[in-house]
Structure formats: structure tokens, C-alpha cells
Amino acid sequence: MDKVYVEGMEFYGYHGVFAEENKLGQRFKVDLSASLDLSEAGKTDNIDATINYADLYHICRDVVEGKPVKLVETLAETITAKVLETFPNVSECKVKVIKPDPPIPGHYQSVAIEMTRTRQ
């Protein structure tokens, strides 16, 4: 299956279990891939036969910069669901939500959740 990738997106959100995270906010990074048949787009050079990268970016931005949630898992689930709902030609969506510098003891570069959802 062909894939469209949008990687390295960065947003500022107010998600987390700790009250400080909800008050101060923090950066989140998102990588996304969407699986779909791109053969017609490749043969016809027609944008309507694919999906627009900007639309995928806006879905991720709206979720991460939107209503605060406690879990990074909730962000990933919401993004994959919105991509599958918005684009009927996408058969699978994989998203990785990265939380740089998490507020937990120890030395961490980041923590992340990667989630894959397939159209039923």
C-alpha cells in the first residue's frame, strides 16, 4: 500500500496528568502516515486522487492545540479517527505523538505513543 507522510510537526498544547502541564503547556511533536492507493495520482498528476498534506497537518494541529486531555494516547486516538473519518480513501493511519522533555524524574529526551488504526 502506498503512503503519504507528514513528519516533524510541532504544536503547543496543554495536555497531561499533572496540573502544571495543563496550566503551562508544552511542545508536542507529531509524525503521521496515511495508507492509500496513489496509483491514479501518480498516473494523472491530479491532486484530487490523493490527499493534501496541509489537510493532514490541520487535523493534527486542531487536535493538539485543541481541548486539553490527560493522555498522549487520547491525542493519537483522536488524530487517527479524524483522518479515517475525513478521508474515505485512507485505509490505515499511523500516528506517533512525541512529548519532549516529559515532567518525570530522570533523564529523558522524550516519551511517545505510536498508534495504528485501520478502516473496518
Catalytic residues: 99
**Helix, strand, coil tally for the chain in percent (to 5):** 35, 35, 30
Hey, which residues does 31 pair with through a beta bridge? Answer: 96
Hey, which residues does 33 pair with through a beta bridge? Answer: 5, 94
Contact yes or no for 18/81 (Cβ under 8 A): no
Geometric angle at alpha carbon 53, from 48 and 55, rounded to 5°: 80
Q: How many CB atoms lie within 10 A of CB 62?
A: 14
Geometric angle at alpha carbon 8, from 11 and 57, rounded to 5°: 60
